[in-house]
């Protein structure tokens, strides 16, 4: 049995209206674009935070290294823990002191400066740092390095700038700051 012509016309008319209607299309388009937009937005924010934290660590390291440059650390008998605490006081606005690592090495005049990468071949952080202060009257070269493991959050979404534990749930970006100088006599 055929439906009455008036009801068929009504159905066809409703289909044409539905096809031409644009109400709700913005919501559908936003549903398609929003996830990509938010992933990109969070990746930009995370990258900016990483760069900002690295700059805070760099500035704090240079300010603390000045204590060694001017012999204030050596003259006051500053230990590794005290030097680290001085650095922590400078960077605690953004970085937790528990995650700050300090490496201070002294090289005699004319000796080649060699520094090792704190990330091994497997992508693990290796903490084998020392604290060597310069004897009084020396003109040695001092290399001060500070490290911080910054946790990554957006890395699981395909954007990955982690260099420690890459592609794991605990991936981190190792922030590093270095100051090298010849000590004043």
Task: Give the domain ranges of the chain.
Answer: 24-182
pLDDT at position 87 is: 95
Decide if pLDDT at 183 tops 70. yes
**In this predicted structure, what is the pLDDT of residue 157?**
67
User: Over 80: is that where the pLDDT of 134 sits?
Assistant: no
Helix, strand, or coil (residue 135): coil
Does 109 or 56 have the greater pLDDT score?
Answer: 56
pLDDT value at 148 more than 90: yes
Do the beta carbons of residue 150 and residue 53 sit within 8 Å? yes
Comparing CA positions, the residue from 132, 119, 127 lying closest to residue 162 is 119
Structure tokens at 183: 């000590």
Question: Could you tell me how far CA 4 lies from the centroid of its own chain?
Answer: 70
Determine the pLDDT at residue 18: 67
User: What would the two tokens of residue 19 be?
Assistant: 């096809």
Confidence check: pLDDT of 2 > 60: no
pTM, two decimals, is 0.78
Average of per-residue pLDDT values in the chain: 85
- φ/ψ of 177, rounded to 5, equals -135, 140
Could you please report the per-residue DSSP string of 97-117? GGGEEEEEEEE-TTPPP----
Cβ 100 vs Cβ 88: under 8 Å: yes
In tens, the pLDDT along 57-104 reads 999 999 999 998 888 888 888 889 999 999 999 999 999 999 999 999
Mean pLDDT of 24-36: 83
Go through the chain and tell me how many residues it has: 185
- The pLDDT of residue 147: 95
Q: Which two tokens stand for residue 172?
A: 């981190």
Rounded to the nearest 5 degrees, what angle is found at the Cα of 64, between the Cα atoms of 56 and 115?
85
Q: What is the mean pLDDT of residues 9-18?
A: 79
Q: How far apart are the first and last CA of the chain?
A: 108
Question: What confidence tier does 119 reach under pLDDT thresholds 50, 70, 90?
Answer: confident
Write down the residue that tokens 């006051």 correspond to: 76
For residue 48, what pLDDT band results from cuts at 50, 70 and 90? very high
Given this model, what pLDDT does residue 84 score?
94
What are the start-end ranges of the E strands in 40-140?
100-107
């Amino acid at each position: 049995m055929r439906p009455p012509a008036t009801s068929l016309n009504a159905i066809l008319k409703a289909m044409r209206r539905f096809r031409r209607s644009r109400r709700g299309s913005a919501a559908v388009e936003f549903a398609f674009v929003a996830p990509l937009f938010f992933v990109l937005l969070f990746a930009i924010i995370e990258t900016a935070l990483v760069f900002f934290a690295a700059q805070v660590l760099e500035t704090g390291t240079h300010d603390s290294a000045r204590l060694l440059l001017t012999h204030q650390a050596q003259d006051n008998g500053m230990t590794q823990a005290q030097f680290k605490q001085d650095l922590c006081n400078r960077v605690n606005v953004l970085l937790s002191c528990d995650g700050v690592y300090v490496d201070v090495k002294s090289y005699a005049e004319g000796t080649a400066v060699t520094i090792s990468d704190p990330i091994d071949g497997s992508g693990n952080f290796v903490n084998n740092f020392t604290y060597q202060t310069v004897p009084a009257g020396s003109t040695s070269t001092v290399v001060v390095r500070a490290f911080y493991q910054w946790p990554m959050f957006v890395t699981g979404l395909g954007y990955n700038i982690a260099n420690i534990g890459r592609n794991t749930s605990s991936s981190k970006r190792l922030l590093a700051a270095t100051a090298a100088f010849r000590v004043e006599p």
